[in-house]
């Protein structure tokens, strides 16, 4: 018996302990699992050649671009929608590659622009608030 199959059987046996499963269900689950485990084994062999280490992860977020560590595509913003095409949420992606949960998946220059925009907005808000406050004061005085 090959490893994929025995691994799949172990998983299904564990499942069968926690919920009621028909024989058919178990058989098809073993089949499906064995196939996907085999698939995983093959893809991890391929991944070993281009191993992703910490510096690759760090370098994936650059001044003007963000590189998707799953497929190598380059973006300005690595969107949740793109990650969904790999079956990942941004949280899962960051966890998978050992990034901090708060890491923004955005090019550094864009991160700065966003930050500045936020600051500008806050300043503007403050100014408007001050103006409104002054106005109210005037109205009260009049």
Which positions touch Zn ion (CB under 5 A)?
68, 70-71, 73
Q: What is the 3-state secondary structure (H, E, C) of 50-67?
A: CCCCHHHHHHCECCCCEE
CA distance 19 to 11: 12
Give the nearer residue to Zn ion in terms of CB position, either 59 or 73: 73
Least distance to Zn ion from the beta carbon of 96, Å? 12
Tokens of residue 89, six digits: 């949420």
Residues with Cβ < 8 Å from 137, sequence gap 6 or more? Answer: none
Give the nearer residue to Zn ion in terms of CB position, either 29 or 52: 52
Tokens of residue 3, six digits: 């490893």
Least distance to Zn ion from the beta carbon of 107, Å? 15
Cβ neighbours around 103 below 10 Å, total: 15
Least distance to Zn ion from the beta carbon of 13, Å? 35
CA 119 to chain centre: 27
- Comparing every residue's Cβ against Zn ion, the nearest one is 68
Give the nearer residue to Zn ion in terms of CB position, either 5 or 77: 77
Least distance to Zn ion from the beta carbon of 39, Å? 18
Give the nearer residue to Zn ion in terms of CB position, either 73 or 119: 73
């Amino acid at each position: 018996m090959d490893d994929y199959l025995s691994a799949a059987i172990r998983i299904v046996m564990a499942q069968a302990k926690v919920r009621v499963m028909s024989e058919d269900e178990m058989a098809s689950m073993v089949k499906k699992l064995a196939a996907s485990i085999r698939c995983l084994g093959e893809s991890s062999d391929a991944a070993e050649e281009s191993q992703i280490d910490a510096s690759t992860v760090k370098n994936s977020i650059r001044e003007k671009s963000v590189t998707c560590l799953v497929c190598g595509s380059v973006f300005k913003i690595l969107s949740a929608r793109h990650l969904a095409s790999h079956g990942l949420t941004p949280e899962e992606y960051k966890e998978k590659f050992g990034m901090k949960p708060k890491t923004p998946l955005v090019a550094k220059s864009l991160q700065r622009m966003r930050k500045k925009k936020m600051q500008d907005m806050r300043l503007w808000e403050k100014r408007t608030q001050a103006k409104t406050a002054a106005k109210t004061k005037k109205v009260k005085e009049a």
